[in-house]
């Protein structure tokens, strides 16, 4: 359809930039707390159209904190499951409500929606502003609901480095041991957004850098922003297949 997207195999939605955390390492910079979020109907329509033309193997929802808008996340993942997308991921900090019943209900519905890779961001940075207790509770509900879940810590310098942040992260991970949740490899913080502002001393290269940047001539992941922006267009104003057709790097 468009040679610059011939290897497209992933769709991702930044559901919202609103967040319950204020992390020092956040790549999005200071979160403005905007309530803007992707429209579920537009997202579902785009997934259906893209899947009709491309072999999408992975769909990811993240934020901000995507579970501030759980109904949207459910709708997106139900569609992904229905269309046979194999990997259906949510990245969450696990803290989106103070209401225990609500947290349990969201975990159950995530399982029913077909989420099969729940990545829980827990580490020294998240837990500076996000209380651990409700996150532990949500993790327990997720385990009980049968959702495959992994802890996804952010490491500073490397997972092996013994800086004070990593030492605290290891303590936090130990708090999850009774739940027997596997620890994923996590990610090493890169110099971008808040990380560049607050953790500069830990980076040898102070140039802004992101390992997640796409090659504009070989787009493999179609990324939707909360305001509908995708590639060089906007999913609220144009059909996603036209946006793909008209894309130029
Ligand atoms: S929880 Fe995630 S999106 Fe929210 S401030 Fe922390 S790193 Fe940023």
CATH number of the domain to which 28 belongs: 3.20.20.70
Contact 87, 39 (CB under 8 A): no
Residue entry with tokens 């072999």? 55
**Which residues of the chain have a pLDDT value below 70?**
29-33, 205-211
Query: Which atom of ligand 1 sits closest to the CA of residue 125?
Result: 6
CB 249 within 8 A of CB 213: no
Q: Which atom of ligand 1 is nearest to the CA of 130?
A: 1
* β-bridge mates for residue 187, sequence order: 154
The number of the ligand 1 atom at minimal distance from the alpha carbon of 19 is 4
Burial of 84 (0-12, 13-18, 19+ CB in 10 A): exposed
pLDDT at 143: 98
As for how many domains the chain has, the answer is: 1
Give the per-residue pLDDT at 198. 86
Residue 213: per-residue pLDDT: 78
pLDDT of residue 210: 65
Q: What is the whole-number distance in angstroms between the Cα of residue 21 and the centre of ligand 1?
A: 5
Per-residue confidence (pLDDT) for residue 216, from 0 to 100: 94
* Residue 8 token pair: 């497209």
Q: Report the half-sphere exposure of 226 (CA within 13 A, side-chain side).
A: 18
Question: What is the whole-number distance in angstroms between the Cα of residue 25 and the centre of ligand 1?
Answer: 8
Are the CB atoms for 54 and 90 separated by under 8 Å?
no
Q: Is 28 in the pocket of ligand 1 (CB under 6 A)?
A: yes
**Given the DSSP bridges, would you call strands 233-234 and 229-230 parallel, antiparallel or unpaired?**
antiparallel
Q: What domain range is 7 assigned to? A: 3-246
CA dist 88 and 198 (Å) reads 33
> pTM for the complete prediction?
0.94
């Amino acid at each position: 359809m468009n040679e610059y997207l011939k290897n497209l195999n992933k769709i991702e939605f930044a559901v919202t930039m609103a967040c319950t955390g204020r992390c020092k390492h956040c790549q999005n910079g200071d979160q403005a707390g905007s309530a803007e979020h992707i429209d579920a109907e537009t997202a579902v329509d785009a997934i259906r159209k893209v899947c009709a033309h491309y072999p999408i193997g992975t769909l990811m929802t993240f934020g901000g904190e995507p579970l501030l808008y759980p109904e949207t996340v459910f709708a997106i993942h139900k569609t992904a499951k229905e269309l046979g997308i194999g990997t259906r991921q949510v990245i969450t900090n696990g803290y989106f409500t103070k209401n225990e019943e609500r947290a349990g209900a969201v975990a159950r519905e995530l399982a029913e929606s077909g989420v099969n890779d729940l990545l829980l961001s827990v580490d020294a940075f998240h837990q500076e502003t996000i209380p651990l207790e409700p996150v532990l509770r949500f993790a327990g509900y997720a385990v009980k609901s049968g959702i495959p879940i992994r802890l996804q810590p952010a490491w500073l310098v490397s997972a092996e480095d013994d800086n004070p942040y990593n030492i605290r992260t290891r303590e936090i991970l130990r708090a999850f041991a009774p739940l027997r949740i596997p620890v994923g490899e996590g990610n090493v913080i890169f110099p971008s957004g808040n990380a560049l502002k607050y953790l500069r001393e830990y980076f040898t290269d102070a140039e802004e850098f992101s390992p997640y940047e796409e090659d504009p001539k070989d787009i493999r992941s179609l990324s939707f922003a909360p305001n509908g922006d995708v590639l060089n267009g906007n999913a609220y104003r144009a059909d996603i297949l036209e946006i793909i057709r008209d894309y130029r790097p």
